[in-house]
């Protein structure tokens, strides 16, 4: 993936740090280099503790485990969704515990085609850190390349990262409610609400996670797995740009809000937009699980 002007040289000074995604071969060259931090974001919504268990069995050497429920989410109060954001300061404190500083180059990966790693990518940029990339192909690609794994847990020195100007945009429930009130939205105008969930959940036919089925009125479905090729790698930037252009029509990325079930896989769509050169889309962090916490909010079903 081509680097943008934010890219920084690696420790050998002969290659830029990738912007958005990184290939296995590139990560292998950076392994063990000063300032490189690897976060293992493996998770399974259906099995609490699965990611931590898999991490203990083996991970990319030097990787630190980042738990979706505890490290990449804040406290739930029954009205803010299943994976609410922590405060930027709390997340920055956790990053410092993992050894991050202002110049750290961070690689995040999972075993779910980037579904959870993209959340870490988004959050790092949310607190102002630009040097972060998702491992394309994830854990499976690393294993397929025949590269080594480790069962040792690193003990990083305390970092000094601080919250900086955010590189991501957040949309609150009130902005989403305005879209729902005006549904169906005009085909070429207004804010576009993208729902990254699978089509069956979007349509309300097979809700397996949340207690209420359906979608936010006015939303358009763009399943996050559509960002991938048949091998589980991100599609080329131009292909992603062409596909999203069909949805955006004349809108700019700044007229797009992305949501999912709890603000996690929506980050995959935002990453895909980023790779396509369409930066600026907002995340609705609470997403469907926050939306349905208030029974007064409208619900739609069907395609």
Which amino acids are annotated catalytic?
A: 260
Q: Are 20 and 271 in contact (CB under 8 A)?
A: yes
**114, 210, 125, 112 alpha-carbon torsion, rounded to 10°:** -10
Alpha helix positions (H), the chain: 24-30, 50-57, 88-97, 117-126, 138-144, 173-182, 199-202, 237-248, 266-275, 287-291
Q: Are 241 and 267 in contact (CB under 8 A)?
A: no
The CA–CA distances, whole Å, from 217 to 84, 148, 183, 301 equal 22, 48, 6, 8
Residues contacting residue 175 through CB under 8 Å, at least 6 positions apart: 191, 257, 282, 284
């Amino acid at each position: 993936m081509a680097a943008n002007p934010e890219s920084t040289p690696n420790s050998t000074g002969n290659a830029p740090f990738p912007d958005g995604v990184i290939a296995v071969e590139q990560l292998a060259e950076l392994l063990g280099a000063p300032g490189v931090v690897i976060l293992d974001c493996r998770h399974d919504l259906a099995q609490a503790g699965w990611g931590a268990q898999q991490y203990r069995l083996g991970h990319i050497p030097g990787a630190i485990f980042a738990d979706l429920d505890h490290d990449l989410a804040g406290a739930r109060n029954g009205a803010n969704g299943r994976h609410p954001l922590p405060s930027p300061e709390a997340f920055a404190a956790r990053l410092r515990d993992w050894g991050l500083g202002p110049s750290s180059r961070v690689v995040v990966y999972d075993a779910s085609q980037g579904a959870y790693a993209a959340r870490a990518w988004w959050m790092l940029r949310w607190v102002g850190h630009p040097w972060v990339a998702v491992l394309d192909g994830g854990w499976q690609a690393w294993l397929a390349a025949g590269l080594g794994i480790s069962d040792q847990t690193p003990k990083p020195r305390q970092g000094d990262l601080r919250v900086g100007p955010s590189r991501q945009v957040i949309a609150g429930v009130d902005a989403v409610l305005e879209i729902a009130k005006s549904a169906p939205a005009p085909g070429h105008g207004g804010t576009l609400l993208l729902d990254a969930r699978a089509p069956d959940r979007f349509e309300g036919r097979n809700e397996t996670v949340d207690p209420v089925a359906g979608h936010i009125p006015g939303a358009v479905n763009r399943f996050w797995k559509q960002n991938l090729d048949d091998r589980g790698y991100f599609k080329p930037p131009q292909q992603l740009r062409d596909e999203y252009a069909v949805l955006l029509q004349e809108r700019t990325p700044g007229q797009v809000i992305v949501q999912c079930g709890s603000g996690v896989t929506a980050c995959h769509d935002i990453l895909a937009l980023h790779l396509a050169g369409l930066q600026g889309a907002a995340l609705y962090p609470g997403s469907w699980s926050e939306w349905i916490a208030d029974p007064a909010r409208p619900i739609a079903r069907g395609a």
